[in-house]
A and B are shown apart, each in its own frame.
Chain A
Amino acid sequence: MSFIEYGDTIKDGDTAIVFLGHESMFPVKVQHGTVTQTKYGVIRHSMDLIGKKYGSKVTCSKGGWVFILHPTPELWTMNLPHRTQILYSTDISIITMMLELKPGSIVCESGTGSGSLSHALIRTVAPTGHLYTVEFHQQRAEKAREEFREHGVEHLVTVTNQDVCKNGFGVSNIADAVFLDIPSPWEAIGHAKAALKAEGGRICSFSPCIEQVQRTCLAMEEYGFTEINTLEILLRVYNVRTISLQIPDLGKAAEDNSSAGFDSSNPSNQGSPCTNLQQGAVQFKSGVPQREMVGHTGYLTFATKSLF
């Protein structure tokens, strides 16, 4: 396995994802001789994991079972240990596309944070690209380096421990794209421009507050960036449920036995998805939105650096 390439069987040293059911999962470092506790019992790495195919069902000691999944940046994002607030796949997706990232791209990122976006960027630029990521917090920078090593991607990424607003990304005129997720991005726009290739590139800044966005857009304009565009993207999830609605009792008309208007026993009512469960209820399938949803993560501002 690797975060940048699929493997078929679980090996010693892999990072695997243990899936317990409905949005319940956690990462595990596969190691000979170790065990992992789950609510369904114990998983013995040597017996139950190593050599098994990814996607297999593993029965735990108490009889319950789990699935072992191959890691992907998306699964990692959902399960990584948070050192900071992270970016989720919804934002990561649009960032990747709008920055025009692909294999071979050179990307600069700051701050590294918990490495959620970093893993996704590395995946996209592999095998010939590179990620230069800057983090001003020493321990976070070190933890990120450690994780990249463990995940077998250290050759695709360089972690620098410095303040991007003061010292930039440590490279100049080589990046196809720059990403900023820092408190004062307007202070790093100049450095971002310097890191980008002479013939141009793309930039993205992520900020939770509109005031930050305003300052950043102004700075982008001052530094000659074009095509400045701010947007936000939100995910709406639907739960698929079979819903049963009762037919209200409207009493009976004097003469006839059937109720006027809506006839619940007529299957042609309401179209195909409805079936009559029992007298007095209609069933249908629905995509029900969640009670609460993420209403805001941050504003994404994109722009282009060009020669002209």
Chain B
Amino acid sequence: PLPSAPRCHGAVRAAATRMRSRAAEGARRSASGAGSGREEEEEEEEAVMAAGHGPRICEGECAVLKRGDVFKAVAVLRRRKIIFEKQWFYLDNAIGHVYGTTFEVTSGGNLQPRREVEETTTETKEAGTDNRNIVDDGKSQKLTHDDIKALKDKGIKGQEIVQQLIKNSTTFRDKTEFAQDKYIKKKKKKYDAVITIVKPSTRILSTMYYAREPGKINHLRYDTLAQMLTLGNIRAGNKMIVMETCAGLVVGAVMERMGGYGSIIQMYPGGGPVRAATSCFGFPKHFFSNLHEFPLSKVDSLLSGMFSTEMLPSEFEDNALVEEESNGLADEKQTSVQETEEESITATAMEVNQTEEQEKMDINAEDIEFKDNKEKDNKENVREKQRKQWERRKKLIEAAALLTEKNADGLIVASKFHPTPLLLSLLEFVAPSRPFVVYCQYKEPLLECYTKLRERGGVINLKLSETWLRNYQVLPDRSHPKLTMSGGGGYLLSGITVVLDKGKSDSSNLEALKMEEPSSKRCKVQDLQC
């Protein structure tokens, strides 16, 4: 969990003071007659900013940088160089500003708030009617690469560079108005880019992950995730079971929709749950007090009644790690001992490269705890370890108790594993008349899952589906679907639990027949295949 607010308030006060003094400065200027109407507006806005509406960018939090359609999550830290969309800068000046603020990068690598500049009203532009006489020989732009670089080095603003490019383009006035529009937009995007800092949310993070690291989330497209949250009736007060290997994105999305009310039991493979994405959401601490976890490897024993807390999966990891420690395990990323635990988890989450495996991330999270402990006395080390083990055992027993009540309000599965064994066992913990949703990147495993669920019984309203998503460009006389679209966003199998009639295979078959389409329809489908 990330550090909470206190550090932020100081920054807010400091930023507010800076802004008020700037506003006062502006007022003095205009009083002396030098100001314009626009400056007054600026002061007003700055006053509103200082007045403190909306959540502010705080140090230690996770914020998302946005430029056009590109997102990147970063930890807000002072004197930390950020690389985003071919620009280098520090976030220091952003701290204290309201989320949603747009900045431009100054020559020093600092961020400066940028107010929306009014478009210069276009005088009747000279334009052509079509492109029949425009030859694309690559020679129409008279400014060279070096010329442009010189302009940039001189500190000329992006807007001005765009104007220069237009002036020095021999074909610009021959283009149609639409083509001119498109040209200007393209140049603006390249030279006059601004960065907006936005507050993380399911919408932002799921879009970001799908664009940047789809492999980490099993190619779960954001609209598919949206379907899961609604079909699963995720809301405040539920007791949810979540099994995911999507870097904690799904757990985070579920937490957001539950608002801190109710409880979540996250089932995890291996040594521990991966919650890299979860930490990006910036939830308050109390949200995590009802987030439990339970190892998949203990599910069978829990169901059969043979559950014991003897050897925790994470303890295997602990012992292995101590060995790796002494071998000088070098972390791919920074993780020096000075850095805070939260910081490195967040940083690891955000700058992870695609080839890193999830297991390694588990180890990194555990690793950091142990790097800290390395500094302490050996004796203290042992005591610390024992205390932690006792804590973990206690939590495990709590989670086991929650599960064995078998009254969960829903089940969400989104993992790299074959869904059938997960569903067949985890559904046991769900109360009757509750929804469940399973995500799979591929359709075929869900076909099998559907069949096995029918055999098991105790489920109705099974539906296998996918969503088709298309974005549009909407401009006067130029509206059409966009050029590229996602080819696939995964598949969902959803249903509702009912009271399970145990040991009555006949009736479950009857149910299966009842639940399928009437036989006449079935024949028609087969006819089609012939």
* Partner-binding segment picked from B79-87, B411-419, B496-504: B496-504
A69 contacts which of B230, B407, B433, B522 (Cβ < 8 Å)? B433
- Indicate if B259 sits at the interface (CB-CB under 8 A): yes
B472 contacts which of A8, A231, A234, A238 (Cβ < 8 Å)? A231
A55-B432 in contact (CB<8A)? yes
CB A92 to nearest CB in B, in angstroms, measures 6
Number of contact residues on A: which range applies?
35 or more
B230-A96 in contact (CB<8A)? yes
B433-A70 in contact (CB<8A)? yes
B257-A102 in contact (CB<8A)? yes
A245 to B496, CA, bound (A): 32
Q: A97-B202, A97-B203, A238-B465 are in contact. Are A199 and B53 (CB under 8 A)?
A: yes
**Which B residues are in CB contact (< 8 Å) with A299?**
472
List CB contacts (< 8 Å) of A1-37 with chain B. 4-6, 8, 19, 21-23
B526-A231 in contact (CB<8A)? no
List CB contacts (< 8 Å) of B308-362 with chain A. none
* Partner-binding segment picked from B27-35, B139-147, B220-228, B268-276: B220-228
B464-A287 in contact (CB<8A)? yes
* Partner-binding segment picked from B1-9, B88-96, B161-169, B235-243: B235-243
- Indicate if A263 sits at the interface (CB-CB under 8 A): no
Number of contact residues on B: which range applies?
35 or more
- Indicate if A126 sits at the interface (CB-CB under 8 A): yes
- Indicate if B514 sits at the interface (CB-CB under 8 A): yes
CB A252 to nearest CB in B, in angstroms, measures 23
- Indicate if A307 sits at the interface (CB-CB under 8 A): yes
- Indicate if B517 sits at the interface (CB-CB under 8 A): yes
* Partner-binding segment picked from B98-106, B129-137, B151-159: B98-106
A103 contacts which of B203, B259, B516 (Cβ < 8 Å)? B259
CB B418 to nearest CB in A, in angstroms, measures 13
- Indicate if B387 sits at the interface (CB-CB under 8 A): no
A307-B469 in contact (CB<8A)? no
- Indicate if B424 sits at the interface (CB-CB under 8 A): no
* Partner-binding segment picked from A130-138, A163-171, A183-191, A210-218: A210-218
Q: A56-B432, A214-B476, A234-B468 are in contact. Are A245 and B222 (CB under 8 A)?
A: no
B525 contacts which of A4, A53, A93, A241 (Cβ < 8 Å)? A241
A100-B468 in contact (CB<8A)? no
A128 to B501, CA, bound (A): 39
A123 to B257, CA, bound (A): 10
- Indicate if A41 sits at the interface (CB-CB under 8 A): no
A96 to B374, CA, bound (A): 47
A93 contacts which of B98, B227, B258, B516 (Cβ < 8 Å)? B227
B235 contacts which of A93, A124, A214, A243 (Cβ < 8 Å)? A124
* Partner-binding segment picked from B175-183, B288-296, B445-453: B445-453
List CB contacts (< 8 Å) of B188-223 with chain A. 201-203, 206, 222-223
| Binary interface encoding of chain A residues 215-254 relative to chain B, with 1 for a CB under 8 A from any of its CBs, else 0 | 0011000000000111111111111110111100000000
**Which A residues are in CB contact (< 8 Å) with B451?**
240, 285
B472-A230 in contact (CB<8A)? yes
- Indicate if A89 sits at the interface (CB-CB under 8 A): yes
List CB contacts (< 8 Å) of B52-86 with chain A. 53-54
A241 to B464, CA, bound (A): 11
**Which B residues are in CB contact (< 8 Å) with A97?**
202-203, 206, 222-223, 225-226, 229
B515 contacts which of A22, A218, A286 (Cβ < 8 Å)? A22
B498-A285 in contact (CB<8A)? no
**Which B residues are in CB contact (< 8 Å) with A243?**
525-526, 529
**Which B residues are in CB contact (< 8 Å) with A103?**
235-236, 257-261
A102 to B334, CA, bound (A): 36
A197-B231 in contact (CB<8A)? no
A240 to B515, CA, bound (A): 12
List CB contacts (< 8 Å) of B438-489 with chain A. 443-444, 446-448, 450-451, 460-472, 474, 476, 479
Q: Which residue of A lies closest to B481 (CB)?
A: A232
B236-A230 in contact (CB<8A)? no
A148 to B231, CA, bound (A): 21
B530-A245 in contact (CB<8A)? yes
A232-B472 in contact (CB<8A)? yes
A238-B443 in contact (CB<8A)? yes
A204 to B461, CA, bound (A): 30
CB B399 to nearest CB in A, in angstroms, measures 20
**Which B residues are in CB contact (< 8 Å) with A200?**
54, 100
B432-A244 in contact (CB<8A)? no
A233-B409 in contact (CB<8A)? no
**Which B residues are in CB contact (< 8 Å) with A90?**
227, 467
A234 to B485, CA, bound (A): 14
Q: A53-B499, A104-B259, A214-B479 are in contact. Are A287 and B447 (CB under 8 A)?
A: yes
CB A28 to nearest CB in B, in angstroms, measures 14
CB A250 to nearest CB in B, in angstroms, measures 17
13 pairs from A and B in contact (CB 8 Å cutoff):
A4-B235, A6-B237, A54-B433, A55-B498, A57-B501, A72-B233, A97-B203, A126-B236, A200-B100, A210-B474, A214-B476, A235-B465, A287-B447
Other A-B pairs, 16, CB within 8 Å; known A103-B260, A198-B54, A237-B465: A4-B237, A19-B461, A54-B432, A55-B434, A67-B498, A69-B498, A102-B257, A102-B259, A230-B471, A230-B472, A231-B470, A238-B491, A240-B462, A287-B447, A301-B474, A308-B45
